[in-house]
Structure 1
Amino acid sequence: MRSDSPSPLAPERAETIALQALAWLVGHDDLRDVFLGATGLSEANLRSRAQDPDLLISTLDFLMMDDAWVMAFCDAHGLAYIDPHSARQSLPGGAQHHWT
């Protein structure tokens, strides 16, 4: 493991953080609309796929596109700023593989 890698989270904790991120995004109209546009999902698809690991990973990827979003989300939920990244890595299929 690389020394700069985030600490892994329990799968349940990672899913909770991802679901919190999804709810946070949906609660911000401007971000929700951009997220839906980026993913191609409708609001109905979003609700029906909320537990899908691929959607949760996409949610965290979207959130992490902007440091201000990460900070606002984490501040709102009392999380460390690294937690969304740790959650992404800990979700099924979320570990990023490096070619080096």
Structure 2
Amino acid sequence: MPRPASSHIDLAGSEALALQVLTFLLSDAPRLERFMSLTGLGSADIRAAAETPDLQAATLEYLLSDESLLLTFCQEAGVDPMSIAPAHGILAKHGQ
């Protein structure tokens, strides 16, 4: 069942969602390689920065940039696709 719509997402929910997306990317070698290639991060960098607002926002931004990946994640995770952009906005503001 999809999670509730995006209008009620808060910082904690945004952080949890970003970590869920990161786990999704880490679980598939081709997805992870592409993410690391486009972000310039190595596996050690990802581990060290996983809980920072900047990496969390970048993870959601990456997901938003690829509709197919976004829809795959949302279907597998049972997440409303409309919750990703608001969560990204919250994390981007928090990281500033």
TM-score range (shorter-chain normalised) is 0.7 to 0.9
* Cα displacement string for residues 53-93 of structure 1 (whole angstroms, at most 9, x for unaligned residues): 11011111111111111111111111111111121012252
* Cα displacement string for residues 8-37 of structure 1 (whole angstroms, at most 9, x for unaligned residues): 511100000000001101112111101111
- Distance (Å, rounded) in 2 between the aligned partners of 1:32 and 1:53: 19
Amino acid at match of 2:74: C
Q: CA RMSD in A?
A: 1.5
Structure 2 equivalent of residue 56 of structure 1: 56
**Aligned partners of 1:8 and 1:89 also within 8 Å:** no
Query: Identity rate of aligned residues, in percent?
Result: 29
- Indicate the structure (1 or 2) with the bigger Cα radius of gyration: 1
**Aligned partners of 1:8 and 1:90 also within 8 Å:** no
| TM-score after normalising by structure 2 | 0.84
Q: Which runs of 5+ in 1 are unaligned?
A: 1-5, 95-100
Q: Which runs of 5+ in 2 are unaligned?
A: 1-5
Aligned residues: 89
Amino acid at match of 2:82: I
| TM-score after normalising by structure 1 | 0.81
Residue aligned with 1:91, SS: helix
Which is helix-richer, 1 or 2?
2
Runs of 4+ in 1 over 3 A off after TM superposition: none
